[in-house]
Amino acid sequence: MVKQSILGRISQLAKANINALLDQAEDPALMLDQMVRDYTNSIAEAESAVAQTIGNLRLIEQDYAEDVAAANDWGRKALAASSKADELRTGGNAVDADKFDNLAKVALGKQFQAEKEAKDAQPTITSQTLVVDKLKSGLDSMRGKLGELTSKRDELIARSKTVDAQRQVQDAIGSIDMLDPTSEISRFEDKIRREEAKVLGQQELAASSLDAQFESLDDLDKQTEIEARLAALKLGAGGSGSQAQLGQ
């Protein structure tokens, strides 16, 4: 009953659908860690039970081999006793011949008992061998499942870390969008453009003032020329003098 229970448990664990279990789990990573621990413990328990089962089988096999050897040995003793009885009877010693025939009968009885025990052990050895083979196969499946669980856990943890990294990057991008540093740059650029425009305006204003000064100089020269001509008119003898001066 215990052996069958172990075999059933091993088969159940080996056939477990990891993906289906993970789909039902709230936290797959924690569940995988627990499953790895459970499988590791179950494998250790199963290995101990299988080792005991194998040990019991080997004891039965040893007993079987001893029974077979005993049956052969008692057969040889029965044959030897029977041959001695025949020899004594041929020599006319019937009493001793009967004693050896009785010894042969005892040896044959021992042989029969040893053969019976060996024969009775054969079905047990056959069935236990099948159980051991199934247990070994189940253990191999469990070890493979444990490797699958470990790989799945490592993969899931790696994917979880990747998701966390992506989430952090996305959160950072979202924060950048909310702060919108480009708007600060735009305001700074607008400020610089206004300063540049102010400088241009000052330059233009300075240029206009300089042009006005030169224009005032031109007006002064013109007025001076007019005053000079007026003085020349007064010095000359009227308009003819002025015309004569202009003609020279």
| pLDDT number for residue 113 | 95
242 confidence band (pLDDT: 50, 70, 90): very low
* DSSP symbols for 150-161: HHHHHHHHHHHH
d(CA 63, CA 94): 39
DSSP state of 237: T
Highest-pLDDT range among 4-18, 41-55, 109-123, 230-244: 109-123
Q: CA-based Rg of the chain, rounded to a whole angstrom?
A: 61
| pLDDT number for residue 124 | 94
> Strand, helix or coil at 9?
helix
Residue 94: count other Cβ atoms within 10 Å of its Cβ. 12
| pLDDT number for residue 75 | 95
Q: Which amino acid is at 229?
A: R
1 confidence band (pLDDT: 50, 70, 90): very low
Average pLDDT rounded to a whole number, residues 119-142: 90
26 φ/ψ angles, rounded to the nearest 5 degrees: -75, -40
Higher pLDDT, residue 29 or 107: 107
| pLDDT number for residue 181 | 55
Whether the per-residue pLDDT at 225 is higher than 70: the answer is: yes
114 confidence band (pLDDT: 50, 70, 90): very high
Q: What is the pTM of this model?
A: 0.53
| pLDDT number for residue 13 | 55
DSSP state of 26: S
Whether the per-residue pLDDT at 78 is higher than 80: the answer is: yes
Q: What is the token pair recorded at 48?
A: 């101990």
Question: Of 95-109, 157-171, 219-233, 234-248, where does mean pLDDT reach its minimum?
Answer: 234-248
76 confidence band (pLDDT: 50, 70, 90): very high
- 119: nearest Cα among 66, 81, 167, 64: 64
d(CA 173, CA 186): 20
Average pLDDT rounded to a whole number, residues 197-203: 78
pLDDT digits 0-9 by tens, 175-191: 655 555 555 667 777 78
Average pLDDT rounded to a whole number, residues 18-38: 68
